[in-house]
Structure 1
Amino acid sequence: MKRIILTVITAMLLGGNLAWADDSEDAIAAYNHKDYATALKIWRQLATEGNAPAQAYIGMLHAQGQGVPQDYTTAAQWFEKAAAQGYAAAQFTLGVLYANGNGVPQNYVKARQWVEKAAIQGNAPAQYNLAQMYARGEGVPQDYVKARQWYKQAAANGDAEAQVLLGVMYLGGYGVPQDYMRAYMWYSLAAASTGDQQTHAADGQDRAARRMAPAQIAEAQRFTRQCQTKQFKGC
């Protein structure tokens, strides 16, 4: 689960439901100003009322050692409280902890179970990492077909790395029939994103293009436009 550590905090801060009470907005403002003690105080009060996002944020503080000593065991306990209420960002993060053995015994089966719960709810980092687990056989039998299915879900949610890996799968025929036009399409979609995948995507796009006739490239470009217009449905 390579990319996971870097995506945990992003998933928490950007992927979570921030539409709670004014108190939560005060906590987020305090956190952004590095006033972790104030943020923790507010989140603790919300957490005692059963607020799952607040429970997850407390877990984040403990995992990062912000305002409290770094303690993955305590972090895992808070993430589990939020995850048990169905909070996708916490489910994904708890899966991360199980995958890496932080605060809990390393267990890829439990990691996959929690990551899958978040993926089913549409959490793109979880969808990407679940695809990785299927591709590598971590916590599940290796299954390129299921890996492709979850990469497609993540790709449809705008995950450029998933789009690149779909290009890889179609270019090499991993879990799918080899299809240079589909490979070109997925690489093109990733190349159009703003992020660290642009160079990889452009290189893949060139590799696919070298295996295609001009008419096929034109058709692949049409596929790409259609996919964007249909918001990834049927891609």
Structure 2
Amino acid sequence: MKKILSIFGLMIVVLSVATNPAWADFETAENAYLGEDFERAFREWEPLAHQGNPEAQNMLGFMYRWGQGVKQDFSKAQEWYKRAADQGNATAQNNLGLVFRYGLGVPKDYQQAFQWFLRAAEQGNAAGQNHLGLMYFKGEGVAQDYVQSYKWAMLAAEQGMDPAIQALGMLEEVLTPAQIKEAKALARAWRPKGPEAVL
């Protein structure tokens, strides 16, 4: 399980960090994380996070969430996710949505979860799109809407998200052919907003 979480943790790191001048430090932390030396990874990422690096901030949030290299602390996870999310980091926005959806150290708040998933999804984040589709399907934080659910699941599925691929099959059992056609048209017309402008 730890190995799966380790690999997942690295998958959620945004690739744009390669253009950051602190890339060498980030890469050192990444290599330590891959080697499951979580304490070292945390030590390497922490100063970058304090300097404002959103990818490092997101990873600190992830490590606090799962108790990797540090004691599990949902409050600190939320704090670091929020710092990165406020800088427009879509992965952190999705992670913050999970904090509110599942009530990790905070009361469950589906409306906040929905808003964070939406911000991630609008930037093209597949996990955010998948979670947004789920929120529409269940009517959590938003009015239930199977057409919107299908649209977002389709967008996530096109990026290879297995849960979204499975969701499409379930949705096709409850939607009419006309609704599926509408949802597919919405998905085809959708364009990502691109990175958020940070003030």
* Superposition TM-score tier, normalisation by shorter sequence: 0.7 to 0.9
Match of 2:63 in 1: 61
Question: 1:140 matched to which residue of 2?
Answer: 142
Give the letter aligned to residue 54 of structure 2.
A
Q: How does 1:41-56 map to 2 (within 5 A)?
A: 41-56=43-58
| Consecutive unaligned residues in structure 1, runs of 5 or more | 1-6, 183-231
Identity %: 39
Rate the CA distance shift 1:27–1:113 in 2: closer, same or farther, 3 A: same
Q: Which residue of 2 aligns with 1:109?
A: 111
Matched, 1:162 2:159: no
After TM superposition, the score normalised by the length of structure 2 is 0.79
Q: For each residue in 1:119-174, what CA deviation from the matched residue of structure 2 results, as whole angstroms up to 9, or x when unmatched?
A: 1111112111110110110110101111111112112212233233323333x342
Per the normalisation by structure 1, the TM-score is 0.68
- Cα deviation, 1:73-111, whole Å, max 9, x if unaligned, reads 111001000000011111001000100110222100000
Measured in 2, the distance between the counterparts of 1:122 and 1:9 equals 23
Kindly indicate whether the alpha-carbon contact (under 8 Å) linking 1:124 and 1:157 is maintained by their aligned counterparts in 2.
yes
What SS is found at the alignment partner of 2:33?
helix
- Cα offset for 1:176? 4.6
**1:27, 1:43 within 8 Å by CA — same for their partners in 2?**
yes
Provide the rounded CA distance (Å) in 1 between the counterparts of 2:179 and 2:139. 22
- Alignment match, 1:36: 38
User: Judging changes above 3 Å, is the alpha-carbon distance between structure 1 residues 175 and 48 closer, same or farther for their aligned structure 2 residues?
Assistant: farther
Say which of 96, 99, 122 aligns to 1:97.
Answer: 99
Q: Which has the larger radius of gyration?
A: 1
CA distance in 2, matches of 1:10, 1:94: 19
1:48-77 alpha-carbon deviations (Å, 9 max, x no partner): 221000011111111111121111011100
Contact persistence 1:79–1:91 (CA under 8 A): yes
1:177: which partner in 2?
Answer: 178
Greater shift after overlay, 8-17 or 130-139?
Answer: 8-17
Contact 1:169 1:175 survives alignment (8 Å): no
Letter in 1 for 2:44: I
| Greater Cα shift, 53-62 or 11-20 | 11-20
Structure with the larger RCO, 1 or 2 (CA within 8 Å, 6+ apart): 2
Question: Is the alpha carbon distance of 1:62 and 1:175 closer, same or farther for their aligned partners in structure 2, counting shifts above 3 Å?
Answer: farther
**Equivalent position amino acid for 2:11 in 1:** L
- The aligned length equals 176
Please give the residue correspondences for 1:169-208 in structure 2 after superposition, counting only pairs within 5 Å: 169-170=171-172, 172-174=173-175, 176-177=177-178
CA distance in 1: counterparts of 2:112 and 2:120, whole angstroms: 13
Q: Which 5+ residue runs of structure 2 have no aligned equivalent?
A: 182-186, 190-199
AA aligned opposite 2:162: A
1:14 to 1, 11, 14: 11
